[in-house]
Chain A
């Protein structure tokens, strides 16, 4: 079993050759967001928007698949600390702490009324978002926007022996379709098992694969492997 699709465009945030302060570039990419909405964007939401903005042309509205292992967990953690201290929690923080809150803000900021899915992929890693996006293509959608993002997991959470966090935040956006110019990829499942870690560890490997000459990317999970192959 395999699935073919084309990566028409991809982008990341922060940039690979990032300077210490990307905040100017970030502000520029976010300049279209109304001020009253912008104040609601967390650092994670900002990098999602910055990565996605580079994959979308103005005035085009795409169905979207968001995927994040931890989402806005940092926000939930802060609220739990406040509860522990006996303080009342912020209704704004509460409303923006759920797993699909960034997707909701995205829909508002980009005026995107297309369907939208948010995945918490666990050990399947970034394959889960690809499967979801390919499913949308098979339903007849032309192009799909994918955004894969995570920030470092709060040190409070005991994660060992699972590999599920990186030291830095990163967002990778892709626009995939059945047709169009770009990189043709084939996704297939294979039987080898292993542990390449969850999505936060896989995203940098996917970026390397997309940016470089490497023909294949195989990511092993405890149940099977996923293979992305350039055609």
Chain B
């Protein structure tokens, strides 16, 4: 799942010159690290909603923690999907 999510990040955020290997699962996605910004957060939120049917709510969820890294995002998506089953 982590690799699938990395691929989603690359395609949905126009990072075409990057590959899955360039993204470290533990690395920070925003500011330092990969260097994504607030628009990317919205875009990625939309892409995740479309692909996994998981909604990340800025009002209710701890967005900073969820979006911290590929690892934390994966964990969140998997736990939300488990709830639905």
A residues near B, CB below 8 A? 35-36, 39-40, 88, 90-92, 95
Contact = CB atoms under 8 A, between A and B. Distances in A.
B27 to A, nearest CB: 15
Contacts of A35: 17
A92 B37 CA distance: 11
B50 A95 contact: no
B43 A91 contact: yes
B15 A91 contact: no
Most buried by B among A88, A90, A91: A91
Contacts of A39: 13-16
Interface in B32-56: 35-37, 39-40, 42-43, 46, 49-50
Count class of interface residues, chain B: 10 to 19
Given A35-B17, A36-B35, A39-B14, A92 B50 contact: no
Contact of B46 (A40, A91, A95): A91
Contacts of B17: 35
B15 A88 contact: no
B80 to A, nearest CB: 18
Contacts of A95: 39
Contacts of A92: 13-14, 39-40, 42-43
The 3 lowest CB-CB distance pairs between A and B, nearest first, are A91-B42, A39-B14, A92-B43
Contacts of B46: 88, 90-91
A91 to B, nearest CB: 4
Nearest to A87: B50
13 contacts: A35-B17, A36-B36, A36-B37, A39-B14, A39-B16, A88-B49, A91-B39, A91-B43, A92-B13, A92-B14, A92-B39, A92-B40, A92-B42
